[in-house]
Amino acid sequence: MGILEKISEIEKEIARTQKNKATEYHLGLLKAKLAKYRAQLLEPSKSSAAKGEGFDVMKSGDARVALIGFPSVGKSTFLSLMTSTASEAASYEFTTLTCIPGVIEYKGANIQLLDLPGIIEGAAQGKGRGRQVIAVARTADVVIMMLDATKGEVQRALLEKELESVGIRLNKSKPNIYFKPKKGGGISFNSTVTLTQCSEKLVQLILHEYKIFNAEVLFREDCSPDEFIDVIVGNRVYMPCLYVYNKIDQISMEEVDRLARRPHSVVISCGMKLNLDYLLEKLWEYLALTCIYTKKRGQRPDFTDAIILRKGASVEHVCHRIHRSLASQFKYALVWSDGCCCRRWSGAVDREATVRGL
């Protein structure tokens, strides 16, 4: 029996097993086995493949955004509208067969936008170059899931399932669980909160399934068995996702209002160029980038050339972006922000001070 058949059998058994107190340990073991087989499925094959056209592109700019969606939902049209790159768009499916990069220039930042080929159901198992598409999506800072507004919620549920099965967690934070394998001493289990979804026995069973018999485990929040398995595996990617519903000019206003009120959702029309400005604002918010402008003594700030950094960046990060030798010679910095007076940061300690509100 191959890996795909084993995965299918486990999924069927999970579906037909009732969820109650008596079956929680059995379900936990099944989920652990399922995660193991899916990890094996994603491992690159050892057989040498024929040389062909490269799929991934070099990461550039201040951030990377991946466009994911089924064929013919408007990804190529969206790329052509938002960037200077012309991506082929047609009325038939699979117009785009490789990864096409473009650059969005917004608020002084260069945001790399990747138009990925349309994926189909079963992409996690490798159908329709699905593994390559998903591998590129794992390197992105934000995922834009392009959906056809005329097809309701079917596409969203299918795409979420495909990404979930390959370890991409959308709009979720990393579980607050401390896990450290040891060489001996058995399994040490503790929790700082009341656990309603996991127990010590279930944690031990899951660890034994992964051949782990000595480890420290500390739950700092009430997590599910799936989240604990994610911590054990350790290769999960947590990233923000914007659900973009295209072709809203073909549905009723009531349906547009319903889709727009869904969490993490934006409604647009590439054909009529509707709501694209708002989508850019939401994308900037999800990327959590900060614009920093420098000024010479006695002169006004230069607002034409911004230093783009991630949220939570420190003064030392700014020094490294200007020149790698500046941080070692750093003495002090004057920092202004909206609604805040000038602050002076100096010395090696203040170098780690976080740049906020800029």
Q: What is the pLDDT of residues 336-357, one digit of tens each?
A: 776 555 555 554 434 444 444 3
Q: What is the mean pLDDT of the chain?
A: 80
Q: What is the pLDDT of residue 353?
A: 44
Least confident among 66-75, 165-174, 326-335: 326-335
Tell me the pLDDT band of 358, cut-offs 50, 70 and 90. very low
pLDDT of 88 reads: 59
Residue 122 clears pLDDT 60, i.e. is over it: no
Would the pLDDT of 68 be above 70? yes
What's the burial of 270, exposed, middle or buried (CB within 10 Å: 0-12/13-18/19+)?
buried
Helix (H/G/I), strand (E/B), else coil: 246: strand
Given this model, what pLDDT does residue 282 score? 92
DSSP E strands, the chain: 63-69, 100-106, 109-115, 142-148, 168-170, 177-181, 187-191, 215-219, 237-239, 241-246, 265-267, 289-292, 307-310, 332-337, 340-346
Cβ contacts of 298-307, under 8 Å, gap ≥ 24 = 305/108, 306/107, 306/108, 306/109
Q: Is the pTM of this model over 0.75?
A: yes
Which of 32-46, 169-183, 204-218, 279-293 bottoms out in mean pLDDT, i.e. has the lowest?
Answer: 32-46
CA 151 to chain centre: 24
For the chain, the domains span 3-46+175-233, 63-172+237-287, 290-355
pLDDT for position 344: 55
Q: Is the pLDDT of residue 48 over 70?
A: no
C-alpha closest to that of 208 among 39, 36, 42, 41: 36
Digit-coded pLDDT (tens) for 177-189: 999 999 888 999 9
Of the listed ranges 90-94, 242-246, 269-273, the one predicted with least confidence: 90-94
Q: Which residue has the tokens 């990404």?
A: 163
Contact predicate 67/144, CB 8 Å: yes
pLDDT at 50: 42
pLDDT tens digits for range 256-269: 999 999 999 999 99
For residue 179, the cross-strand partners are 217
Average pLDDT, stretch 248-262?
A: 91
For residue 54, pLDDT beyond 50: no
What architecture is the 63-172+237-287 domain classified under in CATH? Answer: 3-Layer(aba) Sandwich (3.40)
With pLDDT > 70 as the criterion, what percentage of the chain qualifies? 82
Residue-wise pLDDT tens digits, 133-170: 777 888 889 999 999 998 878 888 888 888 888 788 99
Token output for 126:
């490798």
Helix (H, G, I), strand (E, B) or coil at 237: strand
What are the tens digits of pLDDT across the range 69-80?
888 888 888 888
- pLDDT given at position 133: 75
Residue with more model confidence, 53 or 178: 178
Six token digits for residue 46: 């050892």
